[in-house]
Structure 1
Amino acid sequence: MSDLRIRAAGLEDLDAVLAFWKVAAEGTSISDDRDGVQRLVDRDPEALILAEEDGRLVGTVIAGFDGWRCHLYRLAVHPERRRQGIGSALLSAAEERFVRLGGRRGDAMVLQRNETAHHAWRAAGYAPEEHWRRWVKPLTG
């Protein structure tokens, strides 16, 4: 993993990130399009964190901080590169960002059906809070 590079995504990375998520991410989001990801990067240029090896995208995480809470989304590692420390490196970068910004606790959006992800999040020290339930309302069409 010595050639693993962790960095913030730029606008030039958006198409590659969207293509990568089709291969490496579980489920889809209402914001999984160029406009949605561009809004994220425009608003918070350090929120979308990439892991690269030899110039190839091998992992992502979104580390969003709204001044109140630290939210983690889209932790995705290429299926051929899982269990090699890439997810841990991404989470470390996200957590360091949160601490630098004054965050106190990270929370992650994890699909209920994604058992593989549950193991990864637990191994990283995260645990579900069963007394909370996410409530959503689509704001567009």
Structure 2
Amino acid sequence: MGELRVRTAEAADVLAVLDFWKVAAEGTSISDDPAGVTRLIERDGEALILAERGGELVGTVIAGWDGWRASLYRLAVHPDHRRQGISRALLDAAHARFLAAGGRRADAMVLVENETGQAAWASAGYGREEHWRRWVRPLA
């Protein structure tokens, strides 16, 4: 199976990430194109976190930090690799990033219709705030 490697994305990863999201992520976004992902990496080189096993991309999360809010997007694990601790490893890396920057709470963006995603956030300790339709978790 191989050891799980978690790292930040580089420009060379953009096309692989976009292909991965077509298989592993629910829905698409207007920024799901090479220019959008490249812009993310250039603006904040620590935001897009990847999980690899045996050289294969098996998971992603975007850990956005604007100096005030810690926001999580695109937590995705390849369907053949789910329930193996990959999302936990990605979220641990994101949480460490946020805590080091002074973050106190992380907000997770997930589609309301995405039942798999809803369950994943709940199992990661996030609670849903109905009035905001987002999932949140204190970091410390």
Give the shorter-chain TM-score range.
over 0.9
Q: Give the AA of the match of 2:90.
A: L
C-alpha RMSD over aligned residues:
1.2
TM-score by length of structure 2 reads: 0.92
Instruction: State the 1:2 CA deviation.
Output: 6.1
Deviation track 1:60-111 (CA, whole Å, cap 9, x = no partner) reads: 0000000010000000000000111001110110000000111110001111
Once residues 84 and 59 of structure 2 are traced to their aligned partners in structure 1, the CA distance between those partners, rounded to angstroms, is 11
**2:25 is aligned with 1:37:** no
Once residues 111 and 83 of structure 2 are traced to their aligned partners in structure 1, the CA distance between those partners, rounded to angstroms, is 19
Identity, % of aligned positions: 69
**2:70 is aligned with 1:70:** yes
Where is the strand percentage greater, Structure 1 or Structure 2?
A: 2
Once residues 40 and 58 of structure 2 are traced to their aligned partners in structure 1, the CA distance between those partners, rounded to angstroms, is 20
Q: Which residue of 1 aligns with 2:17?
A: 17
**2:85 is aligned with 1:92:** no
CA contact (8 A) 2:2 2:54 kept: no
**2:46 is aligned with 1:46:** yes
Q: Which residue of 1 aligns with 2:137?
A: none
Q: Give the AA of the match of 1:85.
A: G
Q: Give the AA of the match of 2:9.
A: A
Once residues 120 and 48 of structure 2 are traced to their aligned partners in structure 1, the CA distance between those partners, rounded to angstroms, is 19
- Aligned length in residues: 134
**2:98 is aligned with 1:81:** no
Q: Give the AA of the match of 1:51.
A: A
Once residues 3 and 132 of structure 1 are traced to their aligned partners in structure 2, the CA distance between those partners, rounded to angstroms, is 38
Once residues 68 and 2 of structure 2 are traced to their aligned partners in structure 1, the CA distance between those partners, rounded to angstroms, is 34
Once residues 7 and 112 of structure 1 are traced to their aligned partners in structure 2, the CA distance between those partners, rounded to angstroms, is 28
Once residues 19 and 129 of structure 1 are traced to their aligned partners in structure 2, the CA distance between those partners, rounded to angstroms, is 31
Q: Give the AA of the match of 2:111.
A: L
SS in 1 for 2:128: coil
Instruction: State the 1:133 CA deviation.
Output: 5.2
Q: Give the AA of the match of 2:58.
A: V
SS in 2 for 1:128: strand
Q: Give the AA of the match of 2:128.
A: P
Once residues 100 and 106 of structure 2 are traced to their aligned partners in structure 1, the CA distance between those partners, rounded to angstroms, is 13
Once residues 45 and 65 of structure 1 are traced to their aligned partners in structure 2, the CA distance between those partners, rounded to angstroms, is 11
Q: Give the AA of the match of 2:97.
A: R
**Structure 1: runs of 5 or more not aligned:** 135-141
